[in-house]
Amino acid sequence: MSQWNQVQRLEQRFLEQVDQFYDDTFPMEVRHLLASWIEGQDWDAASNSDSLATVLLHNLMIQIEEELNRVSQEKNLLLRHNLKRIKQHLLGKYHGNPMHMAMIVSNCLREERRILAAASMPIQGPFEKSLQTNLISERQRVLENKVAAIKNSAQVTEQDVKYLEDLQDEFDFRFKTIQSKDTTDKHNILIEQECYKLQEMLNALDQKRKEALRKMSQIIDEIDTLMGKSLTEELKNWKRRQQIACIGGPLHGSLDQIQNWFTLLAESLFQLRRQIQKLDELWTKVTYEGDPIPLQKQYLLDRVICLILSVFQSSFIVERQPCMPTHPQRPLVLKTEIQFTVKLRLLVKLPELNYQLRVKATIDKDPSFNLSNRRFVLFGTPVKVMSIEDSANGSLSVEMRHLKPKESKSNSGNKGHEGVHMVTEELHSISFETQVCLYGLAIDLETSSLPVVMISNVSQLPSAWASVIWYNLFSSEPQNHAFFANPPTASLNQLLEVLSWQFSSYVGRGLNSEQLNMLGDKLIGVPVNQGDNHISWVKFCKEHLPGKPFSFWAWIEGILELIKKYLLSIWIDGCIMGFVSKEKERALLKDKIPGTFLLRFSESHLGSITFTWVDLSDTGEVRFHSVEPYNKGRLNALPFPDILRTYKVIEAENAPENPLLYLYPDVPKDKAFGKHYNSHQNEVSQPTENVKGYVPSVFIPMSKLPTNGSSSPSPMDLPMSPSIFAALREQLTYTEIENDALPKTVNRPVVALFACFPPAH
């Protein structure tokens, strides 16, 4: 079943998450119509290759054109119209930057895998539970009703002011008519009746003015309360969910609903402002003793303008935090001289603002907040105009894609803080400014990104990402640059949940409870039974694990990179148990059928994987065999599923055989890994394509098991390091290496070269 078919079968709450990342990035119609073709392309590679991305963009246009021809034959007018519009939009947006499109499609496919994996696993932690509670939906429904009621009240007041204007016009006409009469006629009975009528109209006019002002004051109070509590809190919650999403947590909710609330409130406030100004005009034409308009209008007008300022200032946000396109799953880590993207949005959507707002980006605008000695400037295009057309969902936004940080040569930073933090613990903020000029008001707007970590070398990325995780886990302040002066501790449950997010977001599958328990044991150092264990920042990221030359986070990061580059498909399929101690491993395997094996990550080698199988000796004794861990250098030579397929061992004088039969607990190996085998690689027993002048050959991973009576290994029997093996391979023939150089050790896999002679005729 294709990935897209699996996505369509998800529950509604997961489908809503899918909606979010297809919102304004890549058309879901194209994803649906071209599902098989899209999933068959290497978008990851294209996101780093301009030539490959250009080819994919060209082929995508061909695919869409073929779909256009098909729907034209079916006379599907609506779909044909949408596809033509989508094709023009994609060409216009990505023709000059096809790598950006490839990155977006790659991210969409990755997010789909992450959501599919999340849907197959239970909610594991308090963060995820809190983000998916029904109370949020109920609160939003209440807020929706209140905003709608305010908008309706403003419309009713608009009609009241119109009625008041008509009443005043009639009063003014009658009053001026009486004034035009001769003084001799002013004492007759008709004039007296008319004056009595005017008095009644003036009383009604006074009553209507007071009622209109009272209603306006009430609406202003309701908006003030709504802004001060519900709407501000809702936006604050969204920003917190955005932080969690930045560090791999569940996708945060859409802004469209919040934008609708802000827009309706802004429209209502401008409507009230016009109504107050209209009352002011009416007052200049007709006034009287005790007139309520001059007493209240300025106070109400000031409150309305104050609320308009508040609405606009709150609505200017960073929709997508700064991120390098080369590392889409590591936002908020920026490398000098490398472009990054960031998206700004104004949640008040008014047509009058389209193409009016020029946004300017700066970094570390206020040096007093920055504790770093380093200073940076932004190159590229730091000023860009917001527009509605650039967004598929019709929001007023701007994506700044050509910003590049550069360290300033004149570093006159905070010398008093020199040496306090590591480079990867220094926090910087990117600020954005614009000005709204609307209906005679000039409103200055400013917002800032979450703190970013600036690195100068990609080797600093893992440590910088750890800082991003820790900050966004514990702080919601955008300017808390002194956070790492005294970083808080994390509860074990919090940290384990966040670690699961790292695997879910980065390699498409989170961790189950057994895997998390093993990580908990490794962090705490004892079996995890207590719920109040806390982990310090130093223990997580800086201190070496007991007896190891690396920290816990370095170990995790190495595993993530290994999975992403070499093991992604079998990790997503759940073939890798991964996190299991040697003791647990033996307990799991000891009662299993000989040939049962499992895959786990090495605890002593960074970024390495090994497998262990169980068999029986001639005396019936249970034996366990673990191969030397495979790291990225060794996996470059042969894909890991093919290593499992062709792996051989030599025991005593027996012929080589593959001991790996069943993936734990009892899945036949070919059933578990068959679809991951390299389809272009022939079986080892078959000759490869003949190359003139050479004997065809294949590589086979192999280990030599010791004899039962073997004693402790001599120095020459110890496992050979990859560097020594490489040196020997350069100097000796393969036959010499096999016969003379390779040590006869337990659990030492080597790659042997077998000559495969074609059958005689």
Q: Give tens-digit pLDDT for 604-624.
A: 899 999 999 998 887 888 889
Q: Specify the pLDDT at position 24.
A: 59
Average pLDDT score over the chain: 82
Neighbour count for residue 46 (Cβ, 10 Å): 23
User: What size, in residues, is the chain?
Assistant: 761
Q: Specify the pLDDT at position 47.
A: 81
Q: Give tens-digit pLDDT for 642-695.
A: 999 988 887 766 667 888 999 998 999 999 998 888 755 544 444 445 556 665
Q: Specify the pLDDT at position 127.
A: 64
492-507 and 461-474 helices, crossing angle to 10°: 130
Say whether pLDDT at 721 is over 60: no
Coil, strand or helix at 372: coil
Interval 560-581 mean pLDDT: 91
Q: Give tens-digit pLDDT for 174-190.
A: 888 877 776 555 567 77
User: What's the helix, strand, coil split of the chain in %, to 5?
Assistant: 50, 15, 30
Q: Specify the pLDDT at position 447.
A: 95
Q: Give tens-digit pLDDT for 69-83.
A: 887 887 778 888 888
Q: Give tens-digit pLDDT for 133-167.
A: 555 677 888 888 999 999 999 999 999 999 998 98
Q: Give tens-digit pLDDT for 25-51.
A: 688 888 888 888 988 888 888 887 888
Q: Specify the pLDDT at position 752.
A: 43
Token pair recorded at residue 374: 């380093």
Q: Specify the pLDDT at position 537.
A: 94
Token pair recorded at residue 685: 């027993």
Interval 557-575 mean pLDDT: 92
Kindly give the residue spans of alpha helices, DSSP state H, lying in 180-286.
189-226, 232-246, 256-285
Confidence of residue 87 (pLDDT cuts 50, 70, 90): confident
DSSP conformational letter for 333: E
- With contact defined as beta carbons under 8 Å apart, do 558 and 506 qualify? no
Query: Rounded distance, CA 118 to CA 698, Å?
Result: 39
Confidence of residue 419 (pLDDT cuts 50, 70, 90): very low
Q: Specify the pLDDT at position 657.
A: 81
Name the least confident of 44-48, 454-458, 595-599. 44-48
Residue showing tokens 């070269």? 753
Q: Specify the pLDDT at position 684.
A: 42
Say whether pLDDT at 192 is over 70: yes
Q: Specify the pLDDT at position 369.
A: 64
Which residues lie across from 702 on neighbouring strands? 648, 750
DSSP conformational letter for 186: T
Q: For the chain, give me the number of helices (H) and strands (E)?
A: 26, 20
Q: Specify the pLDDT at position 310.
A: 95
Residue 527 CA from chain centroid, whole number: 33
Confidence of residue 469 (pLDDT cuts 50, 70, 90): very high
DSSP string, 495-517: HHHHHHHHHHHHHS----HHHHH
Residue-wise over 591-612: b if at least 16 C-beta within 10 A, else e?
Answer: ebeebbbbbbbbbebbbbbbbb
Say whether pLDDT at 759 is over 80: no
Q: Give tens-digit pLDDT for 382-409.
A: 999 999 865 556 789 999 988 999 988 7
Query: Rounded distance, CA 711 to CA 714, Å?
Result: 9
Q: Which one is predicted more confidently, 551 or 195? A: 551
Say whether pLDDT at 534 is over 60: yes
Q: Specify the pLDDT at position 186.
A: 54
Q: Give tens-digit pLDDT for 723-751.
A: 444 544 454 444 333 444 333 334 444 44
- Cα torsion 536, 541, 545, 549: sign: negative
Name the least confident of 23-27, 233-237, 321-325. 23-27
Q: Which one is predicted more confidently, 211 or 408? A: 211
Q: Specify the pLDDT at position 72.
A: 80
Say whether pLDDT at 524 is over 60: yes
Q: Give tens-digit pLDDT for 280-300.
A: 999 988 888 899 999 999 999
Q: Specify the pLDDT at position 343.
A: 94
Beta strand 383-385 pairing with 453-455: unpaired
Q: Give tens-digit pLDDT for 106-139.
A: 888 888 887 787 777 655 566 666 665 555 677 8
Complete domains list, the chain, with CATH: 3-120 (1.10.532.10), 170-313 (1.20.1050.20), 324-461 (2.60.40.630), 490-543 (1.10.238.10), 565-755 (3.30.505.10)
Q: Specify the pLDDT at position 385.
A: 94
Say whether pLDDT at 363 is over 80: yes
Taking the CA atoms of residue 187, residue 188, residue 189 and residue 191 in that order, the dihedral angle to the nearest 10 degrees is -70
Query: Rounded distance, CA 602 to CA 578, Å?
Result: 9
Q: Specify the pLDDT at position 717.
A: 41
Say whether pLDDT at 531 is over 90: no
Interval 291-311 mean pLDDT: 94
Phi, psi at residue 250, to the nearest 5°? Answer: -60, 150
Q: Specify the pLDDT at position 44.
A: 80
> pTM for the whole thing?
0.79
Q: How far is CA 114 from CA 193, 346, 500, 501, 695, in A?
A: 82, 29, 11, 9, 45
